């Protein structure tokens, strides 16, 4: 499956100088396994370097098959801390929460031994949840899995969201956001999101996207360079190049 990660002729990385690697896969199945293998390899490297590895995951509809494949990876999962890139302001047991998605699709098979930190807890106010997330974030993430909306949002940083500038400039790893009026946020305007500051500490960043519209949106983001309009551009910031995995 790894041969499918080779660049193809219209590889955007060949035309735009940017700190990322473009991996194109011929089908969703190839994409799924290649993403899982790449993330598992990064976790394995982290576990060789440190006593524990920290993995941050996104929600959305795209990554579930990758999480199910990753859950089968033969890793020392008991030394892996799994946490979230972002969360809708919902209880962790809510089927629309990202915590629920991760429990359903990742915390099973071998990965059932991992330790999971949800971003919300019953009875907690959003400020308390953000403070707890920032305390946990003192341990830098080994790998971060990001998604992207066709509008160019990533995590819960939406284009032209009120307070986006503050979130982008925050010195904290996580902030509370109110995405009122942002169509990409759908029914969940109150959220907690990783910031560029939180993301930049990660050793490896993976952006998992599918479909021509998302590929075009990513290219438009690169061409524009405007992070307020295309918050996905924050994924390019970090010590190593971003790995973008795409399939039709």
Ligand X SMILES: O=C(O)[C@H](O)[C@@H](O)[C@H](O)[C@H](O)COP(=O)(O)O
**Smaller CB separation from ligand X, 3 or 187:** 187
Burial of 193 (0-12, 13-18, 19+ CB in 10 A): buried
| Least spacing, CB of residue 62 vs ligand X, in Å | 3
Residue 54 token pair? 């920290």
| Least spacing, CB of residue 154 vs ligand X, in Å | 5
Q: Give the Cα separation of 137 and 206 in Å (integer).
A: 18
**Smaller CB separation from ligand X, 24 or 86:** 86
SS3 content of the chain, % helix, strand, coil (to 5): 40, 20, 40
Nearest to 55 by CA among 115, 119, 128: 115
**Smaller CB separation from ligand X, 59 or 238:** 59
| Least spacing, CB of residue 162 vs ligand X, in Å | 18
Q: Give the Cα separation of 209 and 214 in Å (integer).
A: 6
Q: How many residues does the chain have?
A: 248
The answer to whether the CB of 107 falls within 8 A of the CB of 114 is yes
Calculate the CA 213 to chain-centre distance. 19
| Least spacing, CB of residue 102 vs ligand X, in Å | 10
Q: Which residue has the tokens 């990385």?
A: 13
**Residues near ligand X (CB under 6 A):** 58-62, 85-86, 88, 98, 147-149, 153-155
Alpha-carbon Rg for the chain, nearest whole angstrom, is 17
| Least spacing, CB of residue 139 vs ligand X, in Å | 20
| Least spacing, CB of residue 181 vs ligand X, in Å | 16
**Smaller CB separation from ligand X, 58 or 118:** 58
**Smaller CB separation from ligand X, 7 or 181:** 181
**Smaller CB separation from ligand X, 15 or 104:** 104
Q: What are phi and psi of 220, to 5 degrees?
A: -65, -40
């Amino acid at each position: 499956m790894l041969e499918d990660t080779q660049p193809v002729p219209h590889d955007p990385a060949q035309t735009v100088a940017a700190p990322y690697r473009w991996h194109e896969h011929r089908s969703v199945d190839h994409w799924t396994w290649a993403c899982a293998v790449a993330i598992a390899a990064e976790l394995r490297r982290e576990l060789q370097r440190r006593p524990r590895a920290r993995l941050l995951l996104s929600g959305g509809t795209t990554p579930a098959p990758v999480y199910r494949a990753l859950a089968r990876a033969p890793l020392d999962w008991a030394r892996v801390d799994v946490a979230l890139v972002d969360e809708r302001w919902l209880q962790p047991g809510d089927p629309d929460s990202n915590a629920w998605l991760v429990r359903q699709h990742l915390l099973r098979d071998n990965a059932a031994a991992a330790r999971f930190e949800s971003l919300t807890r019953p009875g907690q106010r959003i400020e308390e949840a953000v403070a707890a997330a920032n305390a946990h974030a003192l341990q830098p993430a080994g790998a971060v899995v990001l998604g992207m909306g066709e509008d160019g949002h990533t995590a819960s940083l939406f284009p032209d969201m009120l307070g986006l500038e503050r979130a982008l400039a925050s010195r904290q790893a996580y902030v509370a956001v109110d995405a009122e009026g942002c169509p990409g946020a759908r029914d969940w305007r109150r959220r907690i999101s990783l910031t560029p500051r939180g993301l930049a500490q990660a050793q490896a960043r993976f952006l998992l996207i599918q479909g021509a519209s998302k590929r075009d949106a990513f290219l438009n983001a690169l061409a524009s360079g405007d992070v307020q309009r295309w918050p996905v551009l924050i994924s390019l910031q970090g010590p190593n190049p971003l790995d973008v995995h795409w399939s039709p």
